Amino acid sequence: MPKTTDVAIVGGGVIGCSIAYQLAKRGIKSTVFEKDRLASGASGATAGIIGPLWYVDRTFEPYFEMGMKSLESFPQLARDLAESGVDPEFRQNGVLKLALTEDLARELEENLAWQGDLGLAVTWLDRDEVIEREPEIDPGVRGAVFSPREGSVRGESYVNSLAHAARRMGATVLEGVEVTGLVFDGTKVTGVRAALETYEATLTVLAAGPWTGIADKWIPGRVPVRPVKGQRILVRKNGFLPKSTVQTVIPQVDGNIVIGATREENMFDHRVTMVGIREMAAAAAAVFPTLRDAEFVAARAGVRPGAPDGMPILGPLPEWQGLSVASGHDHAGIMLSPETGRLMADYIESGEAGPLEPFSPSRFGSDEPERIAHPIFWNVTHDR
């Protein structure tokens, strides 16, 4: 006999676990399927910067709004997750963006015009103020923009905290269980096949990061997600720890320092390379010369899911009832995960896909007419 679940979530990274957490808060039972360990991919290899001012394109309003709402929700979310039993290691200690040239100084000061309207207390620091805050900074710095409400999170801890909290509220999280296919009734997806068992589900969500892009092994038509490899390194320097995230140098709660991250298009492997290490080490030493003799602790690589237009792909897949996607976040998956989880959970609960329209898979077009009937969740029995 097949097992049953309200929602089958394929992928145990930050997006899949964020959706499971938000569903659990609504009393909707989900099962997360992760073929390896939680956060074994890009979510665990992330630099963990929570900085939408710098890493989310503000020219696309819904995308930037997702980043700002996620930033706003992170402090309370982190407290809630810690109270559930696992600390996500979120630090709201600010992000410092340096001007190492006069041209960049002018650009950063010009950006303050719109950043100042956001109510985030973003300020310009002159050279002396930057050095006072971070004495080991390169003395050639011209100034910096300081955004005090941004910060960072340790990806692996964050994903584990989401999964732990979701489990406590009724979700099932399976590690080492690979989904090998979908179950169909005509054009309706009715569940997944995993290992030796079948799981019936009212809705299936593909949240498998870059592996979402190979969904054509299960369904006709490819989800337009490509692999983007990223590497990051972990170092330690006795007596030195930045107060804030500075460029791509991110202090950790245990005294280590994350340095990230490379960007390697269409690379589908988890190898750490000497080229990547040299690139990141050089960038970090250009900011903090003292890091030239830092102790190397570890390195890690992951593969992010990139979308053709750089925006997430969220919501029901055209032509297939009961099947949705949540992928394509590229470098911003950790950063956008709170709002992604909420939007997807709202859609799953209500069947109303309107708020997801800017991120809909249908924006990439189709040769076939759309035949999907939005999943309606109010006919599923679940505890409130």
Q: 34: domain range?
A: 3-82+155-224+309-379
pLDDT reading at 366 higher than 70: no
pLDDT reading at 332 higher than 80: yes
177 lies in some domain? yes
87 lies in some domain? no
297 lies in some domain? yes
pTM exceeds 0.75, yes or no: yes
Q: pLDDT (tens digit, 9 = 90+) per residue, 228-277?
A: 999 999 999 999 999 999 999 999 999 999 999 999 999 999 999 999 99
60 lies in some domain? yes
316 lies in some domain? yes
pLDDT reading at 219 higher than 90: no
Same domain, 215 and 332: yes
Same domain, 261 and 159: no
Of 284, 306, 328, which marks where a domain is finished?
306
Question: In sequence order, which residues have a C-beta less than 8 Å from that of residue 337 and are 6 or more positions away?
Answer: 14, 15, 18, 70, 158, 329
Contact status, residue 21 vs residue 344, Cβ threshold 8 Å: no
Give the domain CATH number at 187. 3.50.50.60
Same domain, 73 and 173: yes
